[in-house]
A and B are shown apart, each in its own frame.
Chain A
């Protein structure tokens, strides 16, 4: 068994609410480890609308999603949170001593006294392309990421998409694939121009094929892919394919949270409005993922929930210790923690 990282609080989700929870917990000296499936902090703010202004953050008449995340990262800096990106929490169990064991996919294992689920709309996962019957080939012939390049060696590979992932994997897999076909809806690409140039050069040299159109049908049997039909206004093209890599962006799915024995309400986690605790003591849910009567999915509501949750978390981590409510404006002890006193 792997050595677990021991901490006070594991926060699942590094969006704005998960980040601010570090601040509120930090004021009570609670140390946090954050886990997120994305490769950087910010959740929906950085993934969906980094450049779009948000108009309802108190004190900020307008602030972009990316700016808000930058400022939150600055604000929680004094508490030295540790981040684990590109990881999905797969298991959450209570240990015999009453703590929680949090497992991630191919990543570290954590032991924590408190777990805070700040997972927003769930985890961002690759979007399944709208091709009928594609489910039957997933995991055997159709993959949404490349875990091992060797799985594609000597195969007839079809990559679908026009962004950086599609182009990068086209360039990486072309040398080892038996054949490689890139399928994109149009002759313009979102990917870096240099990658597009290199791909076009390979097409010109006859080393790979570019087909403009949309995949409309798959051919094969028993999960073994044999071909794909690409449709465009001129007609249909059939291509021999044994491995397909579609890159259709990300969507939000509740994911493994559904398996953690928590009560759920339409894919949301019901909590009380005093502590924002779930049906399992010691597991809290804050931000868009929770539900209570009157719930509004606003970042500012999540901030409020984080502040109240922190009080309850403190009582669990340091039972019996008196909790003194203080203001950062006037408390020298809080200011010391923030590094400003």
Chain B
């Protein structure tokens, strides 16, 4: 179990208890976090669940794999902390994770 905080583009903070093994995208959808669309349903095929991992968490979360990096080409305003939230699996070390929702999805 891990607590995840989604910071929306207008500064709202939404805290969610997430089960290990679920994805950061799934928890956003289940809790109706605005700004995460996940058009493809988590297949790493659309880049509409794009988030910025908070700077403090970048190293713990880690780097995207090649397929995700490819898909990030289609996202809006990609930064060094960009990840697709469907590819971040919740685990104990991520307790307290903060992700920021971009201004818009692609």
Are the chains A and B members of one assembly?
yes
Query: Contact: A127 with B74, CB < 8 Å?
Result: yes
Q: A49-B43, A130-B106, A251-B39 are in contact. Are A185 and B72 (CB under 8 A)?
A: yes
B58-88 Cβ-contact flags toward A at 8 Å (1 or 0): 0000000000011011101110100000000
Among B43, B73, B74, B77, the residue within 8 A (CB) of A48 is: B43
Answer whether residue A107 sits at the interface, using C-beta atoms and an 8 A cutoff. no
A65 to chain B, nearest CB (A): 9
Answer whether residue A188 sits at the interface, using C-beta atoms and an 8 A cutoff. yes
Q: A48-B40, A251-B39, A252-B39 are in contact. Are A184 and B73 (CB under 8 A)?
A: yes
- When C-beta atoms are compared, the residue in chain B nearest to A129 turns out to be B106
Query: Contact: A130 with B45, CB < 8 Å?
Result: no
Answer whether residue B89 sits at the interface, using C-beta atoms and an 8 A cutoff. no
Q: A248-B106, A251-B39, A252-B39 are in contact. Are A130 and B73 (CB under 8 A)?
A: no
- Number of A-B residue pairs, CB cutoff 8 Å, is 40
Question: In the complex, A10 Cα to B76 Cα: how many Å?
Answer: 38
Query: Contact: B78 with A48, CB < 8 Å?
Result: no
B80: A residues at CB distance < 8 A: 233
Question: In the complex, A47 Cα to B45 Cα: how many Å?
Answer: 9
- When C-beta atoms are compared, the residue in chain A nearest to B48 turns out to be A251
Query: Contact: A251 with B46, CB < 8 Å?
Result: yes
A87-128 Cβ-contact flags toward B at 8 Å (1 or 0): 000000000000000000000000000000000000000010
Q: Which of A47-87 contact B (CB under 8 A)?
A: 47-49, 52
Answer whether residue A290 sits at the interface, using C-beta atoms and an 8 A cutoff. no
Q: Which of A155-178 contact B (CB under 8 A)?
A: 161-163
- When C-beta atoms are compared, the residue in chain B nearest to A188 turns out to be B69
A112-155 Cβ-contact flags toward B at 8 Å (1 or 0): 00000000000000010110000000000000000000000000
Query: Contact: B106 with A214, CB < 8 Å?
Result: no
A220-253 Cβ-contact flags toward B at 8 Å (1 or 0): 0000000000000100000000000000110110
B104: A residues at CB distance < 8 A: 130
Query: Contact: B46 with A190, CB < 8 Å?
Result: no
B19 to chain A, nearest CB (A): 19
B7 to chain A, nearest CB (A): 20
Q: A48-B40, A127-B106, A251-B39 are in contact. Are A185 and B46 (CB under 8 A)?
A: no
Query: Contact: B39 with A214, CB < 8 Å?
Result: no
19 contacts between A and B (CB under 8 A): A48-B46, A49-B43, A129-B106, A130-B76, A130-B77, A130-B104, A161-B73, A162-B73, A163-B73, A185-B72, A185-B78, A188-B69, A190-B70, A214-B78, A248-B74, A249-B46, A249-B47, A249-B74, A251-B46
List the interface of chain B (C-beta within 8 A of A): 39-40, 43, 45-47, 69-70, 72-74, 76-78, 80, 104, 106
List the interface of chain A (C-beta within 8 A of B): 47-49, 52, 127, 129-130, 161-163, 184-186, 188, 190, 214, 233, 248-249, 251-252
